[in-house]
Structure 1
Amino acid sequence: MSLQDRASTLSPARAWLAAFAAALAVLVGGSLVLRDLVYDRFVWQYFWGPVYADAHNAACAVKQGGTTQLLGSDSCASLPADAVVARPGYTVVSEIGYAVTLVFMLAGVLFLLRELELGTEKEFFFALIPFMFFGGALRVVEDANNVAATTAGVEQAITYPLNALIISPIIYFVVFAITLATLVAAVLLDRRGVVNDYVPVVFGAGAVYLLVTVAYIYFVVTTRLAGQPGTDAGFYPQVTVAVMVLSTLISLAVFGALRWTSPAVVAGTGLIGLVVLFGHTLDGVANVLAADWWQVLGLPFQYYPKHPVNAFIINFTEANLSGNVSETLGTAWPFLLVKIVAAIAVIWLFDEQIFEESPRYAILLLVAILAVGLGPGTRDMLRATFAI
């Protein structure tokens, strides 16, 4: 059989695996053969270097003359032109790389679900909800770890290299791997007759991961951070209660209004649409309460957004609304409106026809869309709950 004939008979899943192996070979081979160009000035500078610097709470990491240095902000300001510098956070190159990786991995998950004959039922979506909360909570473990080292002057509970696993963007791959492993294990138990249904097993496992993670944060805050000079870390459960109650009431009201006035908008997604609306509403509510109503909630300080979109909306509100409006309502509330409108648009786009033609693809996309709202929202809510 010719190479062309083999390529034509290659299944999409095998083609994906072949592309993955080829990309890995190019990166590994290029890093070995052209180390300075491929590894130092691409892989390390834009992907691993920022994580390495963040894991050590450095302003930047510098490769020069075969050595790697961790520097503070003053030293990072003036560096030789030939130095390879990596700073914590994202760059245009890294964001493009992660976006391509996300699309590629979603395609791989789609092929895997086809092989396992999963993902066509809406129960699959609901089974994964706890993992969205879990991902956001795990990000707060990193926040607590950084507070311990940089603010409270306490030794980190999780040190390098283990703490690299909970630093963005590595943490997203970690949560993805945990979710995938749990799903595959639950499906195998189901098909071997050990359990009656994989859905409650996956949901229950995600809930356990979430509870253990929150319990760990509580332990770190109350035993290592609370009362330490330089930090206001503590336990403020009223934040979680307020965010959850308001998010639930707002999402139920909006979803109910849609069902009453425009039933066709929510006909395709059904209760999935309500969950998507709740996830993005929670993100908006958590930002509004932490930024504008922190004193009412009894928090020791005000929170500022970590994401550019939030910051842009707050800055735009401050610049264009009158002082009386900002003083009365705050400046973060337009972000909540944006999140609600965006969620409604998603619910409207996923009509009944999409679920009939490509149910697996539609559900997988909705899982990703929910994660974009519920994950960051959970992180903001828990950061405020523990004042870190």
Structure 2
Amino acid sequence: MQLPDGIDPIQAWLATCVSGIALLAGGAVAFPRRVYDGFLWRYFWGPVDADAHGATCAVRSGGTTERLFDQLACSNAEGVVAMPGYTTVSTVSYAIVLVFMLIGVLLLLRQLDVRMTPRLYVALFPFMLLGGALRVVEDVNVTFLRAGANTLIPYPTVALIISPFIYFVMFAFTLGALVFWFLLFRQGLVETYEPYLAGTGALAVSGTVGGLFYISATSELVGFFPTVAAITLSGATLVAALFWWASQRYAPFINEGTGYVGALIVWGHTVDGIANVVSLDWANALGIGVTYGSKHVVNEATVRITERLQPAWLSEAIGTAWPFLGIKIAAAVFVVWVFNDEIFEDSSRYAYLLLIAILAVGLGPGTRDMLRATLAI
């Protein structure tokens, strides 16, 4: 594949990637306060620093970083203040980087002649769970840090499993596993590569979740509330089953492009929605004893608007996070409907890559929220 001006697309992608990194690095060196402190640190590294130390915020001033553990102190702090979680700037930036990386993967898959199929999509499913589980490892790390105990992973190494760096780690691990097994398949060393790829992801996520449960059983700092996982997984399965039945019976055109992959997407985003509702509104009722807050921009806005519009007595009875569940389900169904046969006929690789990204951005945070509440951290 060649661009209109004859430039190879892979070379163009690599050149753009290197140029972007060089531009940011050069700007950070030339204008450290404006580019590094005011942009890179404030929106990307600062939130990671605060998150890794379990701080309310991190403050950058005069080339040094201070972590604060009180909201009032953060409000009165002088310098660049960064809090754990996402902002509009970071969210948009991550979306742009995600699309750019997807284009790079698409070019690589075309170069290797990897066919994207529903079977490969399912094989990549465990990797989406792994990302969320690894974030919970960092949450346990913070729990130990706050209690003055030895952490599982020291800082700054732990930054590798905090957003946004965990996206690059998972991207490299998943792509590496895919290329490894596919090359073995192409050389005739394995008959098919999808089961081995799925096994790699399943082994990684099983080891991670198993390690978390072991810590729960051996440490008083980590609890265990399996009801959270049971409610989340059974609820998501019920919603996905109802979606599949209703769409197949009354609106089969919704699934004509995605097939059973569409039900998987609805399931994944419902996990995210239910996990948010359970952790934000029902943690006390389930006896978890931990107060959770929204870190995502859309979730936070939904809760804030619901609090404003919904009567106080109703908010007290059913909570304020429930509209987010409806938004997640509606958005997932809409995406499934949009991805019709024509999209897959035009570019099946790009269509599947987008669907992988769409499921991952829902299932990853959903897995994390579910496991956090299950472990009461």
Q: What is the TM-score normalised by the length of structure 2?
A: 0.89
> Are 2:256 and 1:259 equivalent residues in the alignment?
no
> Are 2:203 and 1:208 equivalent residues in the alignment?
yes
In 2, Cα distance between the equivalents of 1:159 and 1:201?
32
For residue 131 of structure 1, what is the amino acid of its counterpart? Answer: F
In 2, Cα distance between the equivalents of 1:284 and 1:148?
28
Query: 2:162 maps to which residue?
Result: 167
Q: Is the 8 A contact 2:288 2:376 kept in 1?
A: yes
Query: 1:242 maps to which residue?
Result: 231
Structure 1, unmatched stretches of 5+, are none
Report the secondary structure of 2:5's partner residue.
helix
For residue 238 of structure 2, what is the amino acid of its counterpart? Answer: L
In 2, Cα distance between the equivalents of 1:39 and 1:89?
18
Decide whether aligned partners of structure 1 residues 26 and 248 sit closer, same or farther in structure 2, where only a CA change above 3 A counts: same
Q: Is the 8 A contact 1:52 1:61 kept in 2?
A: no
Query: 1:61 maps to which residue?
Result: 59
Deviation at 1:41, TM superposition (A): 3.9
Query: 2:298 maps to which residue?
Result: 309
Q: Is the 8 A contact 2:288 2:373 kept in 1?
A: yes
Deviation at 1:218, TM superposition (A): 1.9
In 2, Cα distance between the equivalents of 1:296 and 1:76?
31
Report the secondary structure of 2:103's partner residue.
helix
Query: 2:116 maps to which residue?
Result: 120
Deviation at 1:63, TM superposition (A): 3.7
Report the secondary structure of 1:9's partner residue.
coil
Deviation at 1:9, TM superposition (A): 1.9
> Are 2:106 and 1:110 equivalent residues in the alignment?
yes
CA offsets 1:6-65 (integer angstroms, 9 cap, x no match): 98222211110111122222233444455455444443343323323432334213241x
Deviation at 1:79, TM superposition (A): 5.0
Decide whether aligned partners of structure 1 residues 147 and 122 sit closer, same or farther in structure 2, where only a CA change above 3 A counts: same
Query: 2:276 maps to which residue?
Result: 287
Q: Name which of 6, 10, 15 aligns with 1:13.
A: 10
Q: Name which of 352, 360, 366 aligns with 1:363.
A: 352
In 1, Cα distance between the equivalents of 2:245 and 2:94?
37
Query: 1:219 maps to which residue?
Result: 214
> Matched residues, percent identical?
48
Q: Is the 8 A contact 1:138 1:213 kept in 2?
A: yes
CA offsets 1:210-237 (integer angstroms, 9 cap, x no match): 111112222333333x2x5xxxx31122
Deviates more, 1:139-148 or 1:282-291: 282-291
Deviation at 1:68, TM superposition (A): 4.2
In 2, Cα distance between the equivalents of 1:34 and 1:164?
24
Report the secondary structure of 1:8's partner residue.
coil
Decide whether aligned partners of structure 1 residues 21 and 293 sit closer, same or farther in structure 2, where only a CA change above 3 A counts: closer
Deviation at 1:78, TM superposition (A): 4.3
Deviates more, 1:314-323 or 1:260-269: 314-323
In 2, Cα distance between the equivalents of 1:79 and 1:312?
25
Report the secondary structure of 2:60's partner residue.
strand
Decide whether aligned partners of structure 1 residues 202 and 49 sit closer, same or farther in structure 2, where only a CA change above 3 A counts: same
For residue 25 of structure 1, what is the amino acid of its counterpart? Answer: A
In 2, Cα distance between the equivalents of 1:29 and 1:325?
53
Deviates more, 1:105-114 or 1:295-304: 295-304
In 1, Cα distance between the equivalents of 2:256 and 2:332?
15
Q: Is the 8 A contact 2:52 2:138 kept in 1?
A: no
Q: What is the TM-score normalised by the length of structure 1?
A: 0.87
In 2, Cα distance between the equivalents of 1:130 and 1:25?
34
Query: 2:187 maps to which residue?
Result: 192
In 1, Cα distance between the equivalents of 2:277 and 2:69?
33
Q: Is the 8 A contact 2:124 2:198 kept in 1?
A: yes
Query: 2:96 maps to which residue?
Result: 100
Deviation at 1:380, TM superposition (A): 1.2
Query: 1:148 maps to which residue?
Result: 144
In 1, Cα distance between the equivalents of 2:47 and 2:309?
35
Deviation at 1:183, TM superposition (A): 1.0
Q: Is the 8 A contact 1:268 1:355 kept in 2?
A: yes
Deviation at 1:113, TM superposition (A): 1.2
Query: 1:46 maps to which residue?
Result: 43
Q: Is the 8 A contact 1:142 1:167 kept in 2?
A: yes
Decide whether aligned partners of structure 1 residues 297 and 67 sit closer, same or farther in structure 2, where only a CA change above 3 A counts: closer
Q: Is the 8 A contact 2:47 2:84 kept in 1?
A: yes
Query: When the two structures are aligned, how many residues end up with a matched partner?
Result: 374
CA offsets 1:269-311 (integer angstroms, 9 cap, x no match): 1001010011111112222333344456443345443323223
Q: Name which of 150, 168, 171 aligns with 1:176.
A: 171
Decide whether aligned partners of structure 1 residues 270 and 49 sit closer, same or farther in structure 2, where only a CA change above 3 A counts: same
Q: Which has the larger radius of gyration?
A: 1
In 1, Cα distance between the equivalents of 2:85 and 2:315?
30
Structure 2, unmatched stretches of 5+, are none
Q: Is the 8 A contact 1:50 1:61 kept in 2?
A: no
Decide whether aligned partners of structure 1 residues 221 and 6 sit closer, same or farther in structure 2, where only a CA change above 3 A counts: closer
In 1, Cα distance between the equivalents of 2:80 and 2:319?
42
